[in-house]
Amino acid sequence: MTVTNQPPRHVALLPAAGVGARMAANGPKQYLTVAGKPMLRHAVDAFRASPLVAHTYVVVSPDDGVIDSVLPPSLDGVTVLRVGGATRMDSVLNGLRALAGQLADHDLVMVHDAARPGLTPELIARLIDGVGDDPAGGLLALPVVDTIKRAAAATEGASVSAATVPRSGLWAAQTPQMFSYALLLRALGSAPDATAITDDASAVEMLGYAPRLIAGHPRNLKVTLPADIRIAEMYLAHKEDQS
């Protein structure tokens, strides 16, 4: 890590080493075509189109044989890091460690899911403006509007509603999630269980920080199940709808 008196830069880091098991696809879901191009490319292009983002880094598995066709080495503003790990947290942490000496401690890293193709430069700007200089960083998220039920097991493998969980104060996390390079590296490096860290904010919270919640948008959904592709394509067809 380096220390500098220069203003912080904003960079993007996209972990893209997953296999996408829940999609029931023939390959990693980040490479599935949505609205004419791979999901990963949609996400990368959003950062490339933002004048606020200095560079975009994509973390893939060392043996990834697809990435060069999706993100050609000649693509401006993008660097592929072949240091992906067994879990999402491992991939992010490996990517951060690979950038030691290239990023200053106070540079701001926006970690974004490769399977969120609905991101736009406007949402990136909303996150950056909303977090400002808060040392705890922040993330895009949406207030929970549905009634939430806690399930309990029933006979024959079914689930039953055991309780209703108050939704007041509950938010559904999205990405990007933005933190200083030094804070994110320390948070992920000290996390006790990589499988328990499903987003970067949870690791930062373990250090006692309270990241800001910045209102995101439903278009920024994470494509997890096959039916999500159609929903993502509907939003991508109406880019101007971000209110």
Judge whether residue 3 has pLDDT over 60.
no
Confidence of residue 158 (pLDDT cuts 50, 70, 90): confident
C-alpha separations of 235 from 37, 40, 52, 80, 165 in Å: 14, 16, 23, 27, 30
Position 135 scores a pLDDT of 98
Tell me the mean pLDDT in the region 205-219. 97
Tell me the mean pLDDT in the region 77-88. 96
**pTM score:** 0.92
Beta bridge partners of 88: none
Any alpha helices (H) in 99-169, and if so which ranges? 121-131
pLDDT digits (tens, 9 = 90+) for 168-210: 999 999 999 999 999 999 999 999 887 888 899 999 999 999 9
Residues 6+ away with beta carbon under 8 Å from 138: 127, 130, 131, 177, 178, 211, 212, 213, 214
Contact yes or no for 203/185 (Cβ under 8 A): no
The CATH homologous superfamily for domain 10-236 is: Spore Coat Polysaccharide Biosynthesis Protein SpsA; Chain A (3.90.550.10)
Share of the chain above pLDDT 70, in %: 92
Beta-sheet pairing, 138-143 with 55-59: unpaired
Q: What's the distance, CA 229 to chain centroid?
A: 17
Q: What's the distance, CA 155 to chain centroid?
A: 37
Position 241 scores a pLDDT of 62
